[in-house]
Every structure is written in structure tokens, then in C-alpha cells.
Amino acid sequence: MSFLPNEKNASKASLDDVAKALGVSKSTVSRVLSGKGRISEETRNKVMQCAAEMNYQPNVIARGLAQSKTFNIGVVLPYEKDLGEIPFFQNCLTGICETVSSMDYDVVVAMAAADDASQLERIIRNRKVDGVILTRSVINDPAVRLLKENSIPFVLIGSTSDDSVVQIDIDHESACSELTAYLLSRGCSRTALLLGNKSHNVNLSRYNGFVNAYEQSGKAFDAALIYDNLSGRRAVELAVGEIINKGCDCIICGDDYICVRALSALKEKQIAVPEKIKIASFYNSPILQSYTPPITAVNADPFELGETAARTVLSLINDEDFCKDVFLSYELSIKKSTL
């Protein structure tokens, strides 16, 4: 009853076992299985069949040792518990897993707080990954520094002002254009645009999208209603004050931090949203998700972000030519704040 030859003492056969069973050399088997090097059709078939019969499964670890690869992608997730409240990261992870596993890679996760990349550091030190995906953008991210120092290929889901970082994000120009057009169609004749740091490409894209939408519509926008380089609570407050005085009926916020500040400024001034003024924003982050009233915004599909990030980091690893500027689809989520 014990030691049945055809039994599933599965996945124990090594490449060497297959070679011996066939009376050929290891390299021959290796060549067949890896598809590299020329092999006669005959031996190829012989090997394939034998490998299948023996239920041979290559040892990825050993292959990795020999090639200095791990076939693992590191994914850095936020450590903060309250960030877990939206499905964003889990859906991202799902997209990443699905994509990398189709290339026979696996995902190693590391949690990291905004100021603590120690888990990532371990993974790098232990040589557990060939590349890394950062799932959120953090100013002055220690993870970015670490990855650069160690020359690990990585991509960031989101946007940063550091142009040397490969970023995966939606097409902000087109998204902002669509958002602006929607608002125009809703009758907003005087829409303000509140943008953050001008040197940040993403803000330029939003600006362009805004302008485009106006051009398409044939209407003219009031340049005095465009604010950029807004940084800090105070700057937004001031801008909102001015905007109100200029009689605008709608605000587009370049990001959710600006939006939160604008909302609190409006609340302070007792200006009702959306009755007195409409407001819309961009986000990938959760802080607006549960706001009252719900805020109209441009949303990225986290699953797709994950997929794209995965594909991109895999190309980086394999030195394939890849498109650094990634344009992703998005979704205009119309909520009460613009009705």
C-alpha cells in the first residue's frame, strides 16, 4: 500500500531526475524547459513528455539563485489602519496579483508608514524582490530613497513631483477636461480652478484640461478664477474668499487636500454646497470618500491601476521598452456636491 510508483509524491522530481530518467544531460532538459537554445524536435518532445509524466515542477528558488532573480514583486501598502477603510488598496493589490501571477511572478507585501520603510528595507536586504510597487504617494517618501539607493526598479501608483519616479496615474488632462465640460453643461458659467504646486506636472495637465474644455465649448473662462501654487490651509482660505467675491458658482479642486480646505473655508463662511456653490475634486485617496455632502470627483479604477503598475514594473525589470507616461482610464463620479 505504501510506495505506489504512480503515486502523487508529486513535485519532488528535480531537473536532474528527469535528465537521468532520459539518459540526457541536465542542460538539455534545462534548455527544453526554458525554451532557450536549439534543441531537436525529437528530444524536445521526449523531454516534455517525460517531465510531464514525472510531474516535474521547476524549483523557482533554485532558478532564482542561478539567475540572481527572485520572481517576486514587492508591494508597499500603507501601514496606517484608518487607510484601510476603503477598498482602494485591496483592489489595487488584486490587480497587481492577477497581473504578476500571469507572468509567473509573485507578490511580497510590506507595510510602510509614511515615515517608516523598515519592512521594505528588510525585503530589499533579504533580496526578496526584483522590483517594487508603491501604492501611494508620500511627500519625501523614505521608501523612494531606499529604492533608488539600492537601484531597485519601482513604480509609484499616484503622482509625485519627482520626475525620476515612474508614475501610474490617470490621464489628468483628459479627466479635468471632462469634469470641466460636465460642469459647463450643468450651467456653471464662472468656474474657479484651484491648483497646487505649479512645478508638479499633474497640475499643468489639469490646467490644460480645464482650458481645453472651455475652448471646446466655445465659451471663455475668467483667468482671474484660476489659482495655482496653492499651498497650505491659509492660501486656500484666501483663494476661496476671493473667489466668492468674484461671484463664481463652482470650484474645481486640483486635489483632495485642497478640496478639504476649500470645504472647510466654505463652511466657515456659511456658504452651502451645492446650493450656493458647487464643488468637485480629484482623488485617489480616501479623505473625501465619506464627506457630506458627497463630493463629485474623478476616480481611478484601483484594479486597473494595479494591473498597469504591475505590467510597468515588470517591463522595467526586464528592460523592455515601456511607456513612462501612463494614461489610465478614470470615471467621473457625479455626486451631490455639483447637483
Partner DNA sequence: TTGAAAGCGCTAACAT
Partner DNA sequence: ATGTTAGCGCTTTCAA
In the complex with a second copy, which residue's Cβ is closer, 111 or 271?
A: 111
CB of 61 to DNA, least distance (A): 7
In the complex with a second copy, which residue's Cβ is closer, 50 or 77?
A: 77
Q: Give the C-alpha separation, 244 to 241, whole Å.
A: 5
Interface with a second copy (CB under 8 A), residue from 54, 64, 161, 315: 64
Binds 67: which of a second copy, DNA, none (CB < 5-8 Å by kind): DNA
Tell whether residue 91 is a contact of DNA (CB under 7 A).
no
Stretch that binds a second copy, among 22-30, 73-81, 132-140, 309-317 (CB under 8 A): 73-81
CB 147 within 8 A of CB 126: no
Q: Give the C-alpha separation, 232 to 230, whole Å.
A: 7
Interface with a second copy (CB under 8 A), residue from 21, 108, 204, 332: 108
In the complex with DNA, which residue's Cβ is closer, 28 or 296?
A: 28
Residue span 146-185 as binding mask against a second copy, x where in contact by CB under 8 A, dash where not: ---xx-----------------------------------
Interface with a second copy (CB under 8 A), residue from 25, 45, 101, 140: 101
Interface with a second copy (CB under 8 A), residue from 210, 291, 303, 330: 303
Interface with a second copy (CB under 8 A), residue from 14, 84, 212, 334: 84
CB 88 within 8 A of CB 102: no
Tell whether residue 114 is a contact of a second copy (CB under 8 A).
no
In the complex with DNA, which residue's Cβ is closer, 10 or 224?
A: 10
Tell whether residue 10 is a contact of a second copy (CB under 8 A).
yes
Report the interface residues with a second copy, using CB under 8 A.
Answer: 8, 10-11, 57, 59-62, 64-65, 70-72, 75, 77, 79, 81, 83-85, 87, 89-91, 93-94, 97-98, 101, 104, 106-111, 119, 122-123, 125-128, 149-150, 303
